[in-house]
Structure 1
Amino acid sequence: MKILDLDMDYFMEKVAHTPLKNSKRLDDEYYVKSVWTEKRVRDFLEKNLGLSKENKIKGRIVKGHDEALYFWEELIKNDQLVDPFEVVHVDSHADLGLGCFSDDFIQEKLIMMPVEKRRKTRTYEFNGKIERINIGDYLLWAIAYRMISRLTYCANPNDDKNDYSWDIMKDFHEELIFDKKVTNIIQLKCNSKMEMPNYNSEDSYKKKYLEGAIKEPEVEFIIIPTIEDVSYKGDFDFAVLAQSPNYTPANADYIMDIFREYIIEI
Structure 2
Amino acid sequence: MIPGSFTYHRPASVKDALGILAEHGDEARVIAGGHSLVPMMKLRMAALDHLVDLQGISELRGISVSGGTVRIGAMVTQAELLASADLKAAAPILHEAAEQIADPQVRYMGTVGGNIANGDPGNDMPGLMQCLDATYELEGPSGKRDVNAREFYEAAYMTAREDDEILVAARFDAPKGGYAYVKQKRKIGDYATAAAAVQIVKDGGVCKSASIAMTNLADTPIFAEAAGVALVGTAVDVAAVKAAVAAMQEAIEPVSDNRGPIDFKRHVAGAILAHAIARAWARA
TM-score norm. by structure 1 comes to: 0.25
**Which structure's residues are more often strand, by fraction?**
2
TM-score norm. by structure 2 comes to: 0.24
**Which structure's residues are more often helix, by fraction?**
2
